[in-house]
């Protein structure tokens, strides 16, 4: 799973593309791709990027 730290040299769009590609290889019975992406996304974040994610109101993150 690609990791994103939010460092200046990192490209957020590239991370999202790599993350989506990695998640597309995972299939769970009855789970659609969007659900997998939403549940796995926090795992792809590290450091300040993960800290930022967890400060976002839950209403901003929906399925």
pLDDT in tens, 9-39: 999 999 999 999 999 888 777 788 888 898 8
Domain-embedded: residue 24: no
pLDDT of res. 61: 63
Domain count for the chain, please give it.
Answer: 1
pLDDT of res. 54: 93
Q: Which residue has the higher pLDDT, 41 or 63?
A: 41
| Residues forming a β-bridge with 45 | 4
Domain-embedded: residue 27: no
Whole-angstrom Cα distance, residue 21 to residue 56? 25
Domain-embedded: residue 12: yes
- Name all contacts of 12-20 with Cβ < 8 Å and 24+ positions apart: 15/44, 19/44
Domain-embedded: residue 4: yes
């Amino acid at each position: 799973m690609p990791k994103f730290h939010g460092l200046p040299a990192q490209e957020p769009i590239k991370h999202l593309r790599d993350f989506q590609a990695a998640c597309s290889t995972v299939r769970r019975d009855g789970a659609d791709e969007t659900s997998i992406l939403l549940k796995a996304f926090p795992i792809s974040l590290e450091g300040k990027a993960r800290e930022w994610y967890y400060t976002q109101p839950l209403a901003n993150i929906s399925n």
